[in-house]
């Protein structure tokens, strides 16, 4: 049996393009319209009105990270995510230097529409991290 070497992360959401563009800004990803279209807006205009905004996709321009796929669903999020992304902005940093890097990134993301849930300061056992929510309330951590 062959092992899986590639995967994508899928988000259920109300507004796929809005959430997808937020994550493009967070991760430095780029929108990836379907084959045959140079721009996302060109693809959307090609669809009947009732199908516009059904999905959105973005990719890591370096080709190393997974593709992110955003699909419209009718129901809203009602419970805590069972899986979340850790955005690794403090790798290799400790103490005050790590907290400063996490805080600076959280401020940038708040300006994009994210919400800080809490700031967890290093306690001698665990390093600092900042749990947050994206523009539709999906949890993620700055780690």
Phi-psi region of 57 (alpha: psi -120 to 50; beta: other; left: phi over 0): beta
Q: What is the pLDDT of residue 89?
A: 94
Given 3.40.50, 3.30.1330, 3.30.720, 3.30.1490, which CATH number is that of 85-142? 3.30.720
Give tens-digit pLDDT for 37-73.
999 899 999 999 999 999 999 999 999 999 999 999 9
Helix, strand, or coil (residue 117): coil
pTM for the complete prediction?
0.89
Per-residue burial over 68-88, b if 16 or more Cβ lie within 10 Å, else e, is bbbebeeeebeeeeeeebebe
pLDDT band of 78, cuts 50, 70, 90: confident
Retrieve residue 10's tokens: 């899928």
**Contact indicator for 32, 59 with CB cutoff of 8 Å:** yes
Label the pairing between strands 85-87 and 30-31: unpaired
β-bridge mates for residue 72, sequence order: 13
User: Where along the chain do its domains lie?
Assistant: 8-72, 85-142
Q: Which residue has the tokens 């800004």?
A: 25
Distance CA 109, CA 141 (A): 11
CATH number, domain 8-72? 3.30.720
The reply to whether domains 8-72 and 85-142 share a CATH topology is yes
Give residue 19's pLDDT: 97
For residue 131, give the nearest of 91, 104, 102 by alpha carbon.
102
pLDDT at 83: 85
Confidence of residue 18 (pLDDT cuts 50, 70, 90): very high
User: Quick one: pLDDT band at residue 128, thresholds 50, 70, 90?
Assistant: very high
């Amino acid at each position: 049996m062959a092992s899986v070497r590639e995967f994508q992360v899928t988000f259920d959401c109300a507004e796929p393009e809005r959430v997808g563009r937020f994550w493009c800004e967070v991760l430095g990803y780029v929108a990836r319209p379907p084959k045959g279209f140079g721009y996302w807006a060109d693809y959307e205009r090609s669809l009947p009105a009732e199908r516009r905004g059904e999905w959105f996709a973005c990719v890591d321009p370096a080709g190393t990270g997974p593709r992110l796929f955003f699909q419209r669903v009718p129901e809203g999020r009602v419970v805590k995510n069972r899986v979340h992304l850790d955005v690794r902005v403090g790798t290799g940093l400790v103490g005050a230097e790590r907290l400063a890097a996490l805080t600076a990134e959280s401020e940038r993301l708040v300006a994009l529409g994210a919400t800080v849930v809490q700031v967890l300061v290093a306690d001698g056992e665990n390093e600092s991290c900042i749990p947050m929510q994206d523009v539709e309330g999906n949890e993620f951590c700055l780690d």
